Amino acid sequence: MSNIQGKNLHGKVALVTGASKGIGAAIALELAARGAAVAVNYSGSKAGADKVVAEIKAAGGKAIAVQANLADTESIGPLVQKVACELGPITTLVNNAGVYDFSPIEGVTAEHFHKQFNVNVLGLLLTTQAALANFSPDGGSIINIGSVAAGGLPTASVYSATKGAVDSITGALSQELGPRRIRVNSLNPGMVETEGVHAAGFIGSDFQKKTEADTPLGRIGQPGDIASIAAFLASDDSVWVNGQTIQAAGGARL
């Protein structure tokens, strides 16, 4: 967790989707360290979510773990209602849950398409819709975790398309929700060292070496690099930041 002493998120209630590990877990821990009450959503990894919650509580924070698979549209309403009931009106929504499945164009199928769009796009939209019905009347912040892959990566046409859609949704909702004092921004990481990246075999690969060579800051990202930016977007320090796509990739360009 952050060693920052300031509690600039005190009184805020955050829902972080897909927060049992990786970037989502780091964001949940960072928001809690700064004073927010945090709902740690998970799909299958209850142990991971419970570990994040335990770490937050051990540091004196407030958190709950809430199961919901965002590909199951029927689970989204109960997820948000549980958060609002146990923690209070939502002030921060971090749409982090996502899946990826790389394939050359020859391997693209309807199943491959819907697997990613159902979570990365439809799940994000419906979670946002449900959260807005339980949002603080004072407004707040929605942070959509996109990807530099929105610019297009080989063998990732469908995944890149989902992240391009996230950027478009961010632009549309920032205008639609601005009058309600709800800011909407995209936070788009490059390659980040997470459990999923390790499992995919990227760490130590030629892909990692090329990424580092193409990154002016000379390394791949760590979850905490993304979490600190998310905490800024959740705070009132970013009150005039709306409708932005923030590239968090050490200066790397696709």
Question: Would you call 42 a catalytic residue per the annotation?
Answer: no
Count of structural domains within the chain: 1
What is the residue type of 143?
A: I
In a domain, 216, yes or no: no
From the list 134, 165, 137, 139, the residue with the least C-alpha distance to 152 is: 165
119 pLDDT higher than 80: yes
Residue in 159, 161, 174, 197 annotated catalytic: 159
* Contact between residue 186 and residue 124 where contact means Cβ atoms under 8 Å apart: no
The answer as to whether 118 is a domain residue is yes
Residue 230 lies in a domain: yes
Res. 1: pLDDT tops 80: no
Answer yes or no: is 60 within a domain: yes
**Residue 27 — pLDDT band, cuts 50, 70, 90?**
very high
What is the pLDDT at residue 75? 97
- 157-177 and 124-132 are packed helices; what angle lies between their axes, rounded to 10 degrees? 20
Give me the domain span that covers residue 87. 13-194+223-244
Asked whether the predicted pLDDT for residue 3 surpasses 50, the reply is no
Q: Is the pLDDT of residue 127 over 80?
A: yes
Pairing of β 37-42 and β 245-248: unpaired
Confidence category of residue 200, pLDDT binned at 50, 70, 90: confident
The whole-angstrom separation of Cα 90 and Cα 83 is: 8
CATH code (residue 179): 3.40.50.720
* Residue 204 within any structural domain of the chain: no
Average pLDDT over residues 96-125: 96
Q: Is 18 helix (H, G, I), strand (E, B) or coil?
A: coil
